[in-house]
Structure 1
């Protein structure tokens, strides 16, 4: 990431009713918030333009309001809430948040209790597919769900394409064909939380994980998450098979001709290799743009 400038708010004071104990919920206590916002201030500074930065008075009020609403058990949760409030300001790219609980109910003498977190907008690429029911509606509804999520921004969406169903033995012309698309997102959700959100959206649209190669009302795959490389039983990114799937590569290349699959290379080159090797068919689908 390019080195960014900093806007700092220190010692913001709020009174709220957070805590695991009943007396904390009833009587409340003070909380102190420190925030460091990382952003590009060059335009604001050179043009003397408030619109190119973040109005720190408005930001301070937003933070205090976020802290003082809806009691929760943990200051970790309060910190996440503050980070999201800050990152909703378009200029903010990364934020450090510290939440102090100076009157925490601790039986020994102490100076402070505080939690510090760092959150940022991270680019992610998600592939969408559906071959049951109203396929186009399923894909559109998933894209709308991403756009409506407070921790996700929809950056770009590919055209919809149609592809034959793939099974372990190869193309299955007897199965319903798939509609496929790819979207680019920005999110403050960590990768595992984003994957959980994808699964939630799938389930909301009737996805049943009964058969690994079975037909799907909606299939959402996390292809890329920033520069992260994760290899766990439940999550592997970059997606380990994206480089050999024309139904991912074709819409992705149509959305961004300069896209690169980390560790594999330019998407347009990968697509050409797959089509040459397999002859896999990717057909245009007549539909209005997804975004």
Structure 2
């Protein structure tokens, strides 16, 4: 269950409505906004950058309400919801726009916010790419268990999982060959929340992190969030996470299964957005070949 940030009864007097006089004569509007998000990171760090600033949300909503007049409060609610979902941490939002003085031709008994209102609920739907790998234990079983665990993550929907590719290890100490795959889907989760879920799944399969690029029972990497072709992909670098994955464009063991799962896949490389098929043609594919058959979904 997500945490929530709520803004209640944002009040703006402004002209909106279908009738001509509504576009000239300001009337009262009230807005309630409830944002579903994960605030645990901010709760631990006490850092505003790890949550959503309710001041920013309120100011964006006020700006939308004071724009040139529109006909429908449905339109206002939709615009406010879209502005909230631009925040990286926002998983979903519910927006209610109240118009208590609406000229509906009837009396609304009572007081306060009696009268028409419109509520909308919108969820984040970012495309997501997750790379899977294992080179210890029963590799196929580990990867199958990982896919099942990913499918149980609330707020993550997998659409396709690639076939398996067997690859020689890159870097690190001497170790067995890997089996690699890529899963693609959509998620409403913030990137650090999804990363936490991936680490939990790894830990459940006995993953440890003593040696960088060492052998592992399970490796889950977050490769990309959002759609680079549409310019909605998340781009940032922090101590815990860099998006898009900084080495994905060079790794055939990521590119080959990714192309298998999504033949139209694209990845941002610097300032360019390139087809994964093109990147794979330029990558070193030595030591990578099709692995055993499996049915992960």
C-alpha separation in 2, matches of 1:117 and 1:199 = 30
Q: Distance in 2 between matches of 1:176 and 1:121?
A: 37
Residue 182 of structure 1 deviates from its aligned partner by 0.1
- Which of 253, 278, 281 does residue 272 from structure 1 map onto? 281
Which runs of 5 or more residues in structure 2 are unaligned? 1-5, 10-50, 52-90, 97-111, 114-119, 227-232
Partner of residue 143, structure 2: 139
Residue 279 of structure 2 aligns to a residue in which SS?
A: helix
Q: Mapping of 1:203-222 within 5 angstroms? A: 203-222=203-222
On the 8 A contact 1:124/1:186 being kept in 2, the answer is: yes
Show structure 1 runs of 4+ deviating over 3 A.
31-34, 116-119
Q: CA deviation at 1:282?
A: 1.3
The match for 1:223 is: 223
Which is higher, the Rg of structure 1 or of structure 2?
2
On the 8 A contact 1:158/1:183 being kept in 2, the answer is: yes
Q: Which residue of 1 aligns with 2:229?
A: none
Q: Under a length normalisation based on structure 2, what TM-score does the superposition of the two structures give?
A: 0.56
Q: Tell me, what secondary structure is at the counterpart of 1:195?
A: helix
Q: Deviations over 1:76-130 (max 9, x none)?
A: 9xxxxxxxxxxxxxxxxx953259xxxxxxxxxxx99xxx996412111000000
Determine which of 153, 158, 174 is the counterpart of 1:154: 158
Taking a change above 3 Å as real, the CA distance of residues 117 and 200 of structure 1, as seen in their structure-2 partners, is: farther
> In the TM superposition, what is the alpha-carbon distance from 1:230 to its structure 2 partner?
1.5
Structure 2 CA distance for partners of 1:32 and 1:213, relative to 1, 3 Å: closer
Q: Distance in 1 between matches of 2:202 and 2:136?
A: 13
Alignment of 1:1-80 (within 5 A): none
How many pairs does the alignment contain?
182
- Cα distance in 1 for partners of 2:154, 2:202 equals 18
TM-score with structure 1 length normalisation? 0.57
